[in-house]
């Protein structure tokens, strides 16, 4: 059986991470697999709590677990890169890397299903799970790549336009069977190590959001497919570390990530056009909200924040041309303030 490195990223969710670790170990049973838990510079005692549990609790005794610190909170991609680079403790290179969110709990056969799927489908570079909430409701985690047309459709929220651009909409819905998709949410995704070696790890200029989209796009451009594996089931709470469900205003790091995705992969002109299309669609939707008394669907000031941010960043030098990457202190502080 191929070797699997399981990576779990913790940020101030120690008890949730320990629960996820126990589920992961059950799902790793009988596999040549090892679990690496990365504490992403939580600074709240999470690292010490997890280390203590691994050393003292019965379920962890003799289990293939390592706990490491990232040293700095560079975001989701950077933290997972720390775990991926850790490799197997005996020096072996894993065949597959499996990323599991700290608030996700795989079914006992979930990891094996992803492993077996990739073993049997060499055309696939990545494979991800069917995700559902603890209440059993399915989560939408399978998507198309964003485009100028998806920006218009998503912002306009108008039936005739959505039907016209149905094949451009980013959310695919919840597939009923295993199928190819453009990209998957990173709560439960297995990746060929050989593909990561070829295309590189997560782009660490993304602090949070769009990093999985970018990685799957790079894989697709290199000729590798991403598959949604319906048989692999994982329960997921969602937004525990990010607090996304409680956002009162869209954070700057989300806006930074969106712009970086479009400008990096399609050019700054395309990124500006994507924002223009979103602005047109967003203005149309807000007119309907005003005239038809519909319930607003975006965080307060979202459209204004998006337009102001992207106009400003359009005239900045691209990140790779700056002397240093953007500081992470600001985006981390935004995350903690939500």
Q: How confident is the model at residue 327 (pLDDT cuts 50, 70, 90)?
A: very low
What is the C-alpha separation between 79 and 96, in angstroms, rounded?
Answer: 18
> What does the pLDDT read at residue 101?
96
Nearest alpha carbon to residue 188 among 4, 8, 3: 8
Q: How confident is the model at residue 323 (pLDDT cuts 50, 70, 90)?
A: very low
Task: Give the least confident one: 29-38, 145-154, 272-281, 309-318.
Answer: 309-318
What is the C-alpha separation between 279 and 276, in angstroms, rounded?
Answer: 5
Residue ranges of domains in the chain: 3-139+174-241, 247-337
> What does the pLDDT read at residue 337?
42
Average pLDDT of the residues of the chain: 92
Summarised one tens digit per residue, pLDDT across range 47-77 is: 999 999 999 999 999 999 999 999 999 999 9
pLDDT of residue 234 exceeding 90? yes
Summarised one tens digit per residue, pLDDT across range 187-208 is: 999 999 999 999 999 999 999 9
Average pLDDT on 127-144 reads 96
pTM of the model: 0.91
Q: Per CATH, the architecture of 3-139+174-241 is what?
A: Alpha-Beta Complex (3.90)
Summarised one tens digit per residue, pLDDT across range 280-294 is: 999 999 999 999 999
Give the list of residues 6+ apart from residue 4 with CB closer than 8 angstroms, or none: 28, 31, 32, 33, 34, 94, 95, 96, 97, 98, 111, 115, 190
């Amino acid at each position: 059986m191929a070797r699997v490195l399981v990576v779990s990223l913790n940020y101030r969710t120690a008890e949730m991470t320990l629960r996820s670790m126990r589920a992961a170990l059950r799902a790793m049973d009988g596999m040549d697999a090892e679990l690496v838990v990365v504490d992403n510079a939580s600074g709240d005692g999470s690292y010490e709590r997890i280390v203590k549990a691994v050393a003292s609790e019965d379920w962890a005794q003799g289990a293939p677990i390592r706990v490491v610190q990232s040293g700095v909170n560079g975001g989701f991609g950077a933290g997972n890169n720390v775990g991926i680079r850790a490799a197997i403790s005996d020096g072996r290179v894993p065949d597959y890397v499996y990323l599991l969110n700290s608030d996700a709990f795989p079914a006992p056969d979930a990891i094996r299903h992803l492993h077996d799927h990739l073993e049997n489908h060499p055309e696939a570079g990545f494979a991800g799970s069917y995700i559902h909430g603890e209440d059993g409701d399915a989560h939408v985690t399978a998507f198309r790549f964003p485009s100028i047309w998806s920006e218009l459709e998503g912002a306009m929220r108008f039936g005739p336009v959505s039907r016209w651009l149905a094949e451009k909409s980013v959310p695919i819905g919840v597939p009923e069977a295993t199928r190819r998709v453009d990209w998957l949410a990173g709560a439960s995704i297995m990746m060929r190590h050989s593909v990561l070696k070829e295309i590189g790890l997560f782009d660490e200029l993304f602090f949070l959001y769009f990093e999985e989209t970018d990685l799957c796009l790079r894989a697709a451009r290199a000729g590798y497919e991403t598959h949604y594996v319906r048989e692999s089931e994982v329960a997921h709470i969602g937004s525990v570390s990010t607090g996304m469900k409680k956002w009162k205003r869209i954070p700057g790091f989300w806006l930074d990530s969106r712009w970086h995705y479009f400008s990096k992969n399609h050019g700054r002109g395309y990124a500006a056009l994507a924002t223009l299309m979103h602005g047109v669609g967003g203005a149309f939707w807000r007119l309907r909200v005003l005239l038809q008394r519909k319930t607003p669907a975006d965080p307060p000031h979202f459209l204004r924040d998006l337009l102001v941010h992207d106009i400003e960043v359009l005239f900045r030098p691209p990140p790779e041309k700056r002397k240093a990457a953007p500081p992470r202190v600001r985006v981390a502080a935004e995350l903690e303030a939500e």
